[in-house]
Amino acid sequence: MITENNKTCAIIGSGISGIAASIRMRNKGYKVTVFEANSFPGGKLSQEINKGYRFDFGPSVFTMPQYVDELFILSGKNSRDFFNYVHLNPVYRYFFEDGTILDSYHGKKEYAAHMAAKTKDSEETILKYLNNTEQVYHLTADVFLHNSLHKFKNYFTKSIAKGIINFGKIGAFDTMNEANEKAFTDKKLVQIFNRYATYNGSSPYLAPATLNVIPHLEIIEGAYYPIGGIYSITQSLVELAKSIDVVFKFSSPVKEIIVENKKAAGVKTNNQTLPFDTIICNSDVYNTYKNLMPNQPKPEKTLRQPKSSSAVIFYWGIKKEFAQLGLHNILFSENYPEEFRYITHEKAIYHDPTIYINITSKHTITDAPPGCENWFTMINVPNNSGQNWDKLVAEARENIIKKASRILKTDIRPLIECELILDPRLVEQRTSSAFGAIYGNASNNKFAAFMRHPNFSKKIKNLYFCGGSVHPGPSMPLCLLSAKITTSLIKQ
């Protein structure tokens, strides 16, 4: 039972973090209104349907489902009445140009046994690495994931103090690649673990080795597939929010955050100015200051931080089923350092990019016509700094088709019967992500986590922030945790 407090809260943006924040604020007794510029909810977690093919348009890997379930429990509902998911094993299938295929299994022993059988490294070496990632995760989770880094009192809790005392053990002073080259003899394993830098739009040759904890979430904690695809998470959370009387206003972009006497007092939309007691902004923090508060003081140092990479994604309807492909597939570049040099330094796309292919029709057969597959075909690219994207996308399309055809030993070009394309320009247009940088600021230095914008404004009272561009960072689990951290700072 929700205890009403007669206070009002505006949520700007209905990304997964904004939806989660709306549910949490409603459970605090606030009357909550969510303003969304698009005609649909979800932000990056949206979908498209074309010629009988359904595509999840954004994130595609689902870990830590407990943070979704937690929102239903908080609201007194059974999450299984709204949505369900299945455990994946294996999670990924990795393809190399020499014909090697490696599967990423759940569980340390199963993972290590499979990888050791097909690489130069021993089961003991791989287990040692995974045990270390587990230890680092438990040392860092409370510091970086579950609490605000920007409240001084938090540094005096036992768990955070433990993390700080053990700072030297978390790999902050090596890059991911340096740590992985020390750990493994086999270059394929180095490449596999380096790729996790892309989960927050960074380079393994620049990002701190602390980020090597990311595979812990997939390999040890496990990965899952939501029944009906990733967009079912958005749909179920919107349904939950509406069931507890959260109000959604779609096609209602906020034009300005009203600030009076250093307090957030309301929002201005296309048609009206509305007062609110609390405002939580789920839109990209850079564009929030630029477009919604142009006359307010800006945290210049934070906003000047280098932005993350972006993506070019081809959503292809493929008139064939490929038995050798799974739900999540990686077709690796032969020269990973050069691929990342192009992204981070040349601001261009390497001719031999690593390709990620997600095929939800492997689990939800209605996502594609019979005998067909829906390919979410993605490569990592730089964010938008004025490149000729029409030319880059056309070249990338040819290189992807050639590489996929070569590895799969089938010419895929004539199999493509439907195509949608997303590039950094459209990422910004659809999701308000500054420069099309999908993950906000990059994590290409050891202090990047501390440089993310806090979950509250230090200058404007009653103004809060959640989502992938603020603490603790991008990805579905972190966005859900961002909403939890943000709303915990707001009094009942």
How do residues 57-112 score in pLDDT, each as one tens digit? 988 999 999 999 999 999 999 999 999 999 999 999 999 999 999 999 999 999 99
The three-state (H, E, C) secondary structure of the chain, written as one string: CCCCCCCEEEEECCEHHHHHHHHHHHHCCCEEEEECCCCCCECCCCEEEECCEEEECCCCCEECCHHHHHHHHHCCCCHHHCCCEEECCCCEEEECCCCCEEEECCCHHHHHHHHHHHCCCCHHHHHHHHHHHHHHHHHHHHHHCCCCCCCHHHHHCHHHHHHHHCHHHCCCCCEHHHHHHHHCCCHHHHHHHHHHHHHHCCCCCCCEHHHHHHHHHHHHHCEEEECCCCHHHHHHHHHHHHHCCCEEECCCCCCEEEEECCEEEEEECCCCEEECCEEEECCCHHHHHHHHCCCCCCCHHHHCCCECCEEEEEEEEECCCCCCCCCEEEECCCCHHHHHHHHHHHCCCCCCCCEEEECHHHCCHHHCCCCCEEEEEEEEECCCCCCCHHHHHHHHHHHHHHHHHHHHCCCCHHHEEEEEEECHHHHHHHHCCHHHCCCCECCCCCCHHHHCECCECCCCECEEECCCCECCCCCHHHHHHHHHHHHHCCCC
Structural domain contains residue 189: yes
Is residue 402's pLDDT more than 60? yes
Per-residue pLDDT tens digits for 350-378 = 999 999 999 999 999 999 999 999 999 99
**Mean pLDDT, range 208-231, rounded to an integer:** 94
Structural domain contains residue 484: no
Is residue 166's pLDDT more than 60? no
Structural domain contains residue 56: no
Is residue 9's pLDDT more than 70? yes
Give the domain extent around 204.
115-217
Structural domain contains residue 160: yes
Structural domain contains residue 392: no
pLDDT band at 41 (very low <50, low <70, confident <90, very high): very high
- Provide the pLDDT for residue 158: 60
Structural domain contains residue 107: no
Per-residue pLDDT tens digits for 424-453 = 999 999 999 999 999 999 988 877 767 789
- Provide the pLDDT for residue 302: 87
pLDDT band at 2 (very low <50, low <70, confident <90, very high): confident
**Mean pLDDT, range 204-230, rounded to an integer:** 94
- Provide the pLDDT for residue 17: 97
Structural domain contains residue 211: yes
Domain count within the chain: 1
Is residue 217's pLDDT more than 60? yes
Is residue 27's pLDDT more than 60? yes
Structural domain contains residue 183: yes
Is residue 399's pLDDT more than 70? yes
